[in-house]
Amino acid sequence: MGLIAPYRRPYAGTQPEYLHAPYVSTVKRAPTRPLVAIPQTLSEVTGPHFGKDDIVQGAFDLTKQHAGEPLGERIVVSGRVLDEDGRPMPHTLVEIWQCNAAGRYLHKRDQHNAPLDPNFTGQGHTMTDEQGRYRFVTIRPGEYPWANHYNAWRPAHIHFSLFGPAFATRIITQMYFPGDPLLPFDPIYNCTADVAARERLISRFDWETTIPQEALGYEFDVILLGRDATPTEEPKRR
């Protein structure tokens, strides 16, 4: 098989540590031993690929999954999936989930005393196009309380899950909204040391994709780990 060109390791400080005590659930779940660094092999530079058969047509529109329209402010969330070198990632699966406009998830464990919306499930998925672009239509999710600490509220967010070309490029993240006053208080948003890396999780209001009389547009790009051209047997550090 010859030598394997590995995907880069994340730049220092731009990814969370596992243990982040302000987010209480990490305390009993974060590993306590150092991770064992391994070279990427064929097993890690390959990964599952999904095609048109894995996609439900129209699943990009979360406002059209039921008989009626969900309550809340309609929004368009779109952007590009690129790697660290700016190369578009075409035909890659993007899955999202979110709570409804009242801040309630359609999930048996969500006991928040806010109404469910019979016209909103909160699940969407799509495939990026040739240029790595994706687009969802949904409603702006509400903020919701959680039990992490006294009077804890999550800022409004949409969960994103992407694969990219390899097992090594998998990412699951959360997209936030500009100007959310809860961001400075949220231990999950603030778990990453690098402030600029955090701020890249905040979408941008986008007039271009805003639909007149219909929906506000927000732009959110997702960047996957890049890859060095030179194959090597040693894991790359930077």
Partner 1 sequence: MRSLATTWQTVGPYFRIGMERLMVADIAGEGVEGQRIRVQVRVLDGDDVPIPDAVLEVWQANSHGKYAHPEDTQDKPLEQRFRGYGRIGTDDDGWLRFDTVKPGPVPGPGDVDQAPHLVVGLMMRGLLKRLVTRMYFPGEVLNQTDPILMLVEGARRKTLVARAGVEDVKVLTWEIHMQGKDETVFFEL
What is the smallest separation between the CB atom of 145 and partner 1, expressed in angstroms?
A: 13
135 makes contact with partner 1 (CB under 8 A): no
Q: Is 7 a catalytic residue?
A: no
Catalytic residue among 157, 189, 218, 227: 157
Q: From 5-13, 65-73, 130-138, 202-210, give the range in contact with partner 1 by CB under 8 A.
A: 5-13
Round to whole Å and give the CA distance between 238 and 228: 12
**Annotated catalytic, 144?**
yes
Establish whether 91 is a catalytic residue: no
Span near partner 1 by CB under 8 A; candidates 64-72, 135-143, 196-204, 206-214? 196-204
Given the residues 112, 135, 159, 200, select the one marked as catalytic.
Answer: 159
Q: How far is 140 from 73, CA to CA, in rounded Å?
A: 6
Q: Minimum distance from CB of 233 to partner 1 (Å)?
A: 5
- Sole window of 7-15, 65-73, 129-137, 202-210 interacting with partner 1 (rule: CB under 8 A): 7-15
| Catalytic entry in 105, 134, 189, 218 | 105
26 three-class SS: helix
Interactions with partner 1, residue window 30-49 (CB under 8 A): 30-33, 35-49
Answer yes or no: 18 catalytic.
no
* Binding characters for partner 1, 49-88, by CB under 8 A (x = yes): x----x---------------------------x-xxx--
By C-alpha distance, which of 131, 134, 158, 132 is closest to 144?
158
Decide: helix, strand or coil at residue 89: coil
As measured in angstroms, the least distance from the Cβ of 17 to partner 1 is 7
Burial readout 115-125 (b: 16 or more C-beta within 10 A, e: otherwise)? eebebbbbebb
How many residues are listed for the chain in this entry?
Answer: 238
149 is catalytic: no
Site for partner 1 in 153-192 (CB under 8 A): 159, 161, 166-168, 170-174, 188-189, 191-192
What 3 state SS string does 96-139 have? EECCCCCCCCCCCCCCCCCCCCCCCCCEEEEECCCCCEEEEEEE
Q: In the bound complex, what is the minimum distance in angstroms from residue 213's beta carbon to partner 1?
A: 29
What element of type H or E holds 79? Answer: strand 74-83
| Catalytic sites, residue numbers | 105, 144, 154, 157, 159
